[in-house]
Structure 1
Amino acid sequence: MEKSLIQSLADVKEIKIKPERKLFSATPEEILRGETSDIYFIRTHEILSKIGLVETPVTAEVFCRRAGVFAGIDEVTDLLASQDVEIWALPEGTPMQAKEVVLRIKGPYGEFGIFETPLLGLMASSSGWATAAREVKEAAAGKPVLCFGARHIHPAVSPVMERAAIIGGCDGASCILAAKLAGREPQGTIPHAMILIIGDTVKAAQAYNELMPPGAPRTVLVDTFKDEAEETLRVAEALGSDLGGVRLDTPGERGGVTPDLVKEIRARLDQKGFDHVRIFVSGGLDPERIRILSEAGADAFGVGSYISAARPIDMTLDLKEINGQPFTKRGRIPGLTHSTRLVKMK
């Protein structure tokens, strides 16, 4: 039988961790039951229940601490889907200003109070990732950007991160589940591991070209064994018109991908008649490097840690009305904040 929503300290005490549990990440069911909430919200719910005030009608507002791209509201509305509340919010992907109200919830406090912790976290993390994605996409000035950040964070949240990156502006993601959740197909070709095992970049490229479906992009890594410019021409001559692009992922130990390297490869490709081959760059990219490499001739970018390591945008929830009357804590203005941008979500 499915457990019900946590409402008391007794309910918390009944939570047992099974010995056979394999991962420490919360399941959707645990989040929906309130098991990822801070304990003081459970204490509050129990006390208010015992003194007859848990159903007090209130209106809460959430504001962001800094500007960015708002994301995470789809999960928030799903989190509160079964609760008797009304929700207004900025739509997913909307630019937000510092201190702007991004979410308003109206209803009995007992219907949503215990969810304050997870709903703030859902928006804070996703908004941080979406904002970083918007920054790299703007730096690329319209050129394609893919999110390659799943390997840098816990797999339980990597789909959330890469979905948020797409909301922020990325053109795709490599994580399978993330892309599917965003209504896309995952993007990416081959890792260095395959080329190392086969033992030759050209042989690996030929195997990929022969065995992968026609719609799979023919973009080949060219920094595994030899000089990138030399390897690029070897692959281009072997695949000809089938080759769509080459990927530069030169490690920092060898100086990383430089503007001069991009310029040289572009010139050599053009001189040999391979002007259709695009240059895809990845590896430690940030907005500044993207702008520089784009000017040098890079056509597309794969960004990982700049997005995955983005700082969450702190969100703060305040009660602004109680029993229909303006009421809040010191330092805040009582009553609803005027906003023409909030949209009714529920």
Structure 2
Amino acid sequence: MAGHEPAPLFGARQALDDATIRARTDSYFNRTHEIVSRFGDCSVTYAFFLRRPVISAPRLMCAWLENVAREHGEAIDIELAYPEGAWVGAGEALVYVTGSFAFLSPLETLALQKLGPACVAAHHAYQMAVALPGVKFLAMEARHCAGFEMQEQMAYAASVGGATARTDGAVGFIGCANDATAHFFGAKSGLGTMPHALIGYAGSTVRAAEMFHETYPDSDLVALVDYFGREVTDGLAICRRFPELAAAGRIALRLDTHGGRFLEGLDPQESYAVLDRNTPGTIRRYRSEKELRHLVGTGVSAAAIWRMREQLDQAGFDRVRILASSGFDVEKCVSMADAHAPIDAIGTGSFIPATWTETYATADIVAYNGEPRVKIGREFLLRQKTERATHE
């Protein structure tokens, strides 16, 4: 299969035995297998597609199908209609799979599960990265996933969307939060420093930073500063405690302010003032209440990030970086871009599709024993396949 590179994928090793496949697939596919086996098998070609624009992210599905086929001694042909990372329009086939009807029919349900969510999440990750091309993104999807198989899909998707964004000049997603999926980003281990719980354990933000630095002296210090509601005070205290690290650009302050309050020193009036000082005109361009919250509301707003930058620079810590987290989805990233928010890095899992119905992939057979045939209403899949064959 052109463009496909096997990888050590967890999901690709799952459900290879007949009993597991039968138990997890839709019953009408199992019955189709029995009927076709009784009346005579044939070769079929499936076209896999989604009903919305996506970034092509088929590797998990393709690797799984190849592994199942190998375990069963079956020959299948997988043809990518678009290379991994390419933009695909709504309704356009992403992958064509050809093989035994009796063999492939029971695999459709499980294959679809491995395609749609990854493609939509990759599209979101791409949109976030190109909205803020100078920002490093860290995939923090694990805690939001329903088990490791979903986590693997989402981490893979972020790596694909981020890689596509890099071709457009963005930094994109540089890593993820744990070791198991780090290989998607060309790394051996996950990224991250401290959770809020460590600050609670230490009793102070500065002490938590000291503990971290004593344990990992060669690592950059990325400190959470919102635990006690003193983002500015505690952030500056850390910089003063480690002036050499601050001067060397080895400190980053992570803003994760709760959505129920403003960052230290802000209120609605001062939030407007901060934006007016740093990015005049931004506040006049907002189009929705949600965008307004992203700009001057509670939590990690554009105003909060600008205030933190102002305070660091005024104190002489212009090389200290700002890492933001808390609900950074596509829309919030676009709002941050509009406000020219001085963010160095973002940790987010919000590329995970919020509307799950958007992730539903579909497959239709477009040829039986090489003869083009598809149900009424899906002729566009047949035309795509015919046109590709003609051009090749």
TM-score range, shorter chain: 0.7 to 0.9
2 CA distance for matches of 1:193 and 1:204?
A: 10
User: Aligned residue for 1:88?
Assistant: 79
1:272-311 alignment, distance < 5 Å: 272-294=315-337, 295-307=340-352, 309=354, 311=356
More helix by share: 2
| DSSP-derived class of the 2:303 partner | helix
Displacement after TM superposition at 1:77 (Å): 3.1
Displacement after TM superposition at 1:160 (Å): 2.3
Which deviations, in whole Å up to 9, do the C-alpha atoms of 1:212-270 show, x marking residues without a partner? Answer: 151x3311111111421111110111112324210000011112012222222212211
2 CA distance for matches of 1:321 and 1:133?
A: 34
Which deviations, in whole Å up to 9, do the C-alpha atoms of 1:260-294 show, x marking residues without a partner? Answer: 22222212211222111111110112233224445
Change (3 A) 1:217 1:79: farther
Structure 1: runs of 5+ lacking an equivalent:
1-25
Letter in 1 for 2:26: D
User: Aligned residue for 1:224?
Assistant: 227
2 CA distance for matches of 1:269 and 1:275?
A: 6
Letter in 1 for 2:208: A
User: Aligned residue for 2:194?
Assistant: 190
Aligned length: 314
1:202-241 alignment, distance < 5 Å: 202-214=206-218, 216-241=219-244
Of 72-81 and 147-156, the range deviating more from structure 2: 72-81
Displacement after TM superposition at 1:46 (Å): 0.7
Which deviations, in whole Å up to 9, do the C-alpha atoms of 1:174-200 show, x marking residues without a partner? Answer: 132122354323111100000011101
Normalised by the length of structure 2, the TM-score is 0.74
Which deviations, in whole Å up to 9, do the C-alpha atoms of 1:93-125 show, x marking residues without a partner? Answer: 221111111111122212322111111111111
Root-mean-square deviation over aligned CA pairs: 2.4
8 Å CA contact 2:158–2:351 kept in 1: the answer is no
Does residue 46 of the first structure (1) align with residue 91 of the second (2)?
A: no
Change (3 A) 1:122 1:166: same
User: Aligned residue for 2:252?
Assistant: 245
Displacement after TM superposition at 1:71 (Å): 1.0
Change (3 A) 1:37 1:302: same
Which deviations, in whole Å up to 9, do the C-alpha atoms of 1:313-334 show, x marking residues without a partner? Answer: 3322121111222222222325
Structure 2: runs of 5+ lacking an equivalent:
1-10, 163-172, 262-297
1 CA distance for matches of 2:96 and 2:12?
A: 26
2 CA distance for matches of 1:256 and 1:28?
A: 41
1 CA distance for matches of 2:312 and 2:230?
A: 14
Change (3 A) 1:291 1:300: farther
Does residue 147 of the first structure (1) align with residue 139 of the second (2)?
A: yes
User: Aligned residue for 2:264?
Assistant: none
1:52-71 alignment, distance < 5 Å: 53-54=40-41, 56-71=42-57
User: Aligned residue for 2:303?
Assistant: 260
Normalised by the length of structure 1, the TM-score is 0.83
Considering Cα pairs closer than 8 Å and 6+ residues apart, tell me whether 1 or 2 has the greater RCO. Answer: 1
User: Aligned residue for 2:15?
Assistant: 30
What percent of counterpart residues are identical? Answer: 32
Of 290-299 and 252-261, the range deviating more from structure 2: 290-299
Letter in 1 for 2:322: I
| DSSP-derived class of the 1:171 partner | strand
